[in-house]
Amino acid sequence: MKYYQETAECMPREELKKLQDEKLVKQIKHVWEHVPYYRKKMEEAGVTPDDIKGTDDLYRLPFTSKADLRDSYPDGLLAVPKSECVRLHSTSGTTGKRVLVYYTRNDIDLWEDCCARALTAAGADENDVCQVAYGYGLFTGGFGLHGGSQKLGCLTIPMSSGNTDRQLQFMADLGTTILCCTPSYAQYLAESMEEKGAGGDIHLKAGVFGAEAWSEEMRKDLEKRLGIKAFDIYGLTELSGPGVAYECEMQQGMHINEDHFYAETIDPNTLEPLPVGREGELVFTSLDKEAFPIIRYRTRDICELSAEPCACGRTFLKMCRPRGRSDDMLIIRGVNVFPSQVETVLLDAGYTSNYQIVVDRVNNTDTFEVLVEMTPEMFSDSLGRITEMEKDLVVRLKDMLGIQAKVRMVTPKSIVRSEGKAVRVIDKRKY
């Protein structure tokens, strides 16, 4: 089986556009009638449901931000009576109040379809044993993939995360073929497997990894160490959970489930919509959610969409792996720089150290300095070798970002921390 829902996943583009237009009109009517918060925002923007005849009119609608969701805690954006809801999930709330997301039976059904599509695209079918090692609970990772896997007919093992020994034991004893977890946990499992020499009894074939930023290098590393093909999956609790977009066997970007979610990219500064293919902030509008519809939600993820026909046969647009977040994007000498890119460069060079980006403006030119905490593994008695290491990082940063950085090694723990988290960016420029 190649597709889980071929009619939807391979729908001709014109037909898909028509479907999206019809669904959007209904979705907007739904929020106007049932969510006073959205109605008020629309009224303030001078838009009524009559103005929205299809996705071409989407630009007229106001954006929804994370702050809107927090302001509406606990149920201000709920669009159906609670009696119709069957499930609730929530974001982790590390940056403020939790966002609560509600689901009707139908919402769950469509979400699980999305996850089943992702698993099918990763090569899974009813003969597979799927170990779900995402956390179960308020977090959507565990339940999302669990639902998709069960729907697809895989033997589904609800392991949740943690208890590594038991994870490896089950993989070996039950013949797990599909592993679903965060890429960092997959790395941890691979390490433990190598330490215990358990690789021989484990026969994974694919991994569906998401909920975190990861790189192409990490994919190659995981594929080699676990003997699998590793697939990316994208999602946000605010939209439903994992499965908003998923990778196919081409492994060149994630197909967006466009029959359920309408995707746009916008310029994060001017908020103007950008044409497909231009890098910008990803914005999603749900098309058929009942309990928690969401209109033009600003994800803060920076990426680009691609309309290139995909050899897998799916017609859905593809999104690239998010390159960073618009809320921590820096513009240095006119170039967009994300702290995550600097982190990728360090990881690729084999350094797991703490770093800090210091930006300043001297004589009308931006200065860009990267401080890297020295670790025992990096330290060498020879000044020459430390200087070479700095030069190597400068070259790698230039390759990644296109601008020249100054790299400076600093002593451990010298990078300022705030509540235990390293402060990644210090921007001293005055505007």
Task: Write out the residues near other proteins by the rule CB under 8 A.
Answer: 374-376, 379-383, 386-387, 408-414
Closest approach of other proteins to the CB of residue 389, in Å: 11
> Strand order of the sheet with strand 324-325?
273-274, 261-266, 280-286, 297-303, 324-325
Shortest distance in whole angstroms from residue 333 CB to other proteins: 22
Is residue 282 a contact partner of residue 296, using CB atoms and an 8 Å limit? no
Smallest distance from other proteins to CB 383, Å: 5
* 95 or 411: CB nearest other proteins: 411
Q: How far is CA 207 from CA 37, 168, 316, in A?
A: 40, 14, 22
Cis ω before 74 (30° cut-off from 0): yes
Q: How far is the CB of 392 from other proteins (least distance, A)?
A: 15
Give the nearer residue to other proteins in terms of CB position, either 92 or 387.
387
Query: Which two three-digit tokens encode residue 70?
Result: 């927090």
Report which secondary-structure segment, H or E, holds 166.
helix 164-174
A 10 A CB-CB count for 260 gives 23
CB of 381 vs other proteins, minimal distance in Å: 4
352 vs 387 by CB, closer to other proteins: 387
Distance in angstroms (rounded) separating the CA atoms of residues 246 and 121: 8
- Amino acid at site 236: L
Helix/strand/coil for 135: coil
408: Cα separation from own chain's centroid: 31
**Cβ closest to other proteins, residue 228 vs residue 359:** 359
Helix (H) or strand (E) holding 394: helix 383-401
As beta bridge partners, residue 427 has 359
In the complex with other proteins, the residue whose CB is nearer, 328 or 390, is 390
CB of 373 to other proteins, least distance (A): 9
Considering the complex, what minimum distance in angstroms separates the CB of residue 410 from other proteins?
Answer: 5
Under DSSP, the state recorded for 200 is G
Give 172 or 386: the residue with its C-beta nearer to other proteins.
386
Task: Find the radius of gyration of the CA atoms of the chain.
Answer: 23
- Provide, rounded to whole angstroms, the least separation between the CB of residue 417 and other proteins: 13
Comparing CB distances to other proteins, the nearer of 245 and 407 is 407
The Cα angle at residue 182 between residues 305 and 94, in degrees rounded to 5: 85
| Alpha-carbon gap, residue 396 to 405, rounded angstroms | 10
Closer residue to other proteins, CB minimum distance, 46 or 376? 376
